[in-house]
Structure 1
């Protein structure tokens, strides 16, 4: 999937169908010239329904079509015949999609399972025909109910990537390179900051045909929680990851400080993110010799307050198998 095809935020305008009118009709047939009321009910208007689809990864289907209108209910007719219900409109969305009210920003629906359905706007009720209004004092009512109008509203669709492991790190920390090595994903890789502008997903194949999903989240910068850099645009994708893999390059001036800055940005955005399992991977470790690696390991044991860490190199394939083992163990707890 190219970056241009990844759409994770759209505004849509939805309109449910109007209910059909009830019928005003008096029964007529041969030899019966003054029959009683037999007007049927109007059909209900069509609903706007959200439906989860595990085969979708993006909201691109809503990039060019943002207005959706359900069908109106049919009118009632004679012989107590009800009108047809209006055609429902189904909006297929990827798992992890949340829906917000366009005005209040309140979350009104969330889709996390394949085939899960939520009615966003209900169609208007059909009007009742005059058959319902007959009585001993009014045996030939000549009135019926009109159909109820449909609803119309603006909604915001937001996709929060569903992945087992989220890659967290500053720009140019080597996240895309790791994803390309550990999965079959082919993210854009270059030697400059903010190469990744959209989340990339990849499936990590593990032993015995097991697998888990890893997401490369666009790089964090200091102040991201306040909207700097890519700001909230990418931070929301971390919320659904069960494990966070912090990637910090071995040539960083202060690995512990960099980790604490990243952690603080997550805390300021959503304190609940700190409850997730964490692992630190020191990337680009092929530039370290054994002596330097042992020195760094001693310092990091003190500086990281017991947070597990390991040395890896995506280019030299150093520690990649051990990284998979550790991540799988964390996901299996």
Structure 2
């Protein structure tokens, strides 16, 4: 009986501890850690680029032609006109979807199918199917004058980019009391032919910003499964690369490797305005400074100057600062001076050697959660 009572007492104490733990409020955002991918990276050499803006031409389908035909029966050789109408051409439609993340699958020329022509015995042509192109949620559509004509901010929202032509009428349509046997029909008109520029409002959660050859591509390769081009010379990245980091609470953050920034980029030097537009579509900006370079704090000042000159709220975005290449010889002294000169806290990392990458992922997550909390409070 004593052993049973001891077991019962231990069970009651364990139950109390479990209930007490359940009553406490756990901050899962602080407890979240990044998960290492189990599947190894692919060995193929083809680089996969991320397209966040593209100029497209939308061409609607041509309408089907009408038919000129006269019905001939065994009992009546002049039974009358029986030409059918042509089918309508298809539309070109953009649809917001969660299935796609960029515009890599979108061609430069988007054409819809043509409607079928009419036939005898009043057989109308078949209407063509609409050409539906899936685009990411948050796609902004601009016309040839640069005006915003579509904003696909919700899933399954559609925008008709080019309407197809209507089907032409057959000679049966033109029959009247005075004209009982018309020999005319209509040709199917062509569809609309319009040009658009589609852009992503939000490209990634985190954007890597820094001078050329600062180690941004190496950092993205170390943090995610992306495989950007890595080489010991400047401007190896000409278009954005995208990678995803998954945390243990099932939250995924996308990180974009942006092309390098040079002085006077707001005057369209280097990649210029194109680069700054990429940075504008990122929620959190991660400044990657080369700690081995002479006076790396001047790089941060120049980067902030370019963001301010570009205008808008780009310079006031939430940001993190990291000093890369801490494995180099002169990096330690430069890192101490960088911490003294910059007001923001600086984290020293080495993307090549994998130093402090876990702490960097935790800082990225905490900064992203802090930004979301501020947005919820302001709304």
Question: Structure 2 vs 1, CA of residues 180 and 127 (structure 1 numbering), >3 Å: closer, same or farther?
Answer: same
Q: Show the counterpart of 2:92.
A: 48
Q: Show the counterpart of 1:224.
A: 265
Q: Show the counterpart of 2:212.
A: 171
Secondary structure, aligned partner of 2:314: helix
Q: Show the counterpart of 2:321.
A: 280
Is 2:185 aligned against 1:140? Answer: no
Secondary structure, aligned partner of 2:308: helix
**1:216 CA displacement:** 1.0
Secondary structure, aligned partner of 2:315: helix
Q: Show the counterpart of 2:104.
A: 59
Contact 1:59–1:159 (CA<8 Å) still a contact in 2? Answer: no
- Residue deviations 1:184-235, cap 9 Å, x none? 2233333332232332222223234433111111110011122211223433
**1:257 CA displacement:** 3.8
Question: Structure 2 vs 1, CA of residues 22 and 294 (structure 1 numbering), >3 Å: closer, same or farther?
Answer: same
Q: Show the counterpart of 1:212.
A: 253
Distance 1:236 1:269 in 2: 9
Contact 1:17–1:70 (CA<8 Å) still a contact in 2? Answer: yes
Aligned 1:91-106 pairs, distance under 5 A: 100-101=142-143, 103-106=144-147
Question: Structure 2 vs 1, CA of residues 19 and 219 (structure 1 numbering), >3 Å: closer, same or farther?
Answer: same
Contact 2:100–2:135 (CA<8 Å) still a contact in 1? Answer: no
Q: Show the counterpart of 1:304.
A: none
Distance 2:187 2:336 in 1: 81
Secondary structure, aligned partner of 1:207: coil
Contact 1:36–1:139 (CA<8 Å) still a contact in 2? Answer: no
- The structure 2 residue matched to 1:74, chosen from 109, 112, 116, is 116
**1:244 CA displacement:** 0.8
Distance 2:234 2:120 in 1: 71
Contact 2:47–2:229 (CA<8 Å) still a contact in 1? Answer: no
- Residue deviations 1:167-190, cap 9 Å, x none? 001112221222122222233333
Structure 2 residue runs of 5 or longer lacking an equivalent are 1-43, 373-379
Is 2:53 aligned against 1:16? Answer: no
Question: Structure 2 vs 1, CA of residues 261 and 36 (structure 1 numbering), >3 Å: closer, same or farther?
Answer: same
Contact 1:6–1:60 (CA<8 Å) still a contact in 2? Answer: no
Secondary structure, aligned partner of 1:83: coil
TM-score relative to the length of structure 2: 0.68
Question: Structure 2 vs 1, CA of residues 225 and 41 (structure 1 numbering), >3 Å: closer, same or farther?
Answer: same
Q: Which segment is superposed worse, 201-210 or 280-289?
A: 280-289
- The structure 2 residue matched to 1:6, chosen from 15, 26, 49, is 49
Aligned 1:196-207 pairs, distance under 5 A: 196-207=237-248
Q: Which segment is superposed worse, 50-59 or 190-199?
A: 50-59
Question: Structure 2 vs 1, CA of residues 7 and 274 (structure 1 numbering), >3 Å: closer, same or farther?
Answer: closer
- The structure 2 residue matched to 1:324, chosen from 344, 347, 361, is 361
Distance 1:263 1:138 in 2: 79
**1:94 CA displacement:** 6.8
- The structure 2 residue matched to 1:180, chosen from 221, 232, 247, is 221
Is 2:191 aligned against 1:189? Answer: no
Contact 2:297–2:341 (CA<8 Å) still a contact in 1? Answer: no
Q: Show the counterpart of 1:85.
A: 127
Structure having the higher Rg: 2
Distance 1:184 1:123 in 2: 42
Paired residues, number: 322
CA RMSD, aligned part only? Answer: 3.9
- The structure 1 residue matched to 2:278, chosen from 237, 249, 267, is 237
**1:327 CA displacement:** 1.2
Question: Structure 2 vs 1, CA of residues 106 and 326 (structure 1 numbering), >3 Å: closer, same or farther?
Answer: same
Question: Structure 2 vs 1, CA of residues 194 and 114 (structure 1 numbering), >3 Å: closer, same or farther?
Answer: farther
Contact 1:96–1:162 (CA<8 Å) still a contact in 2? Answer: no
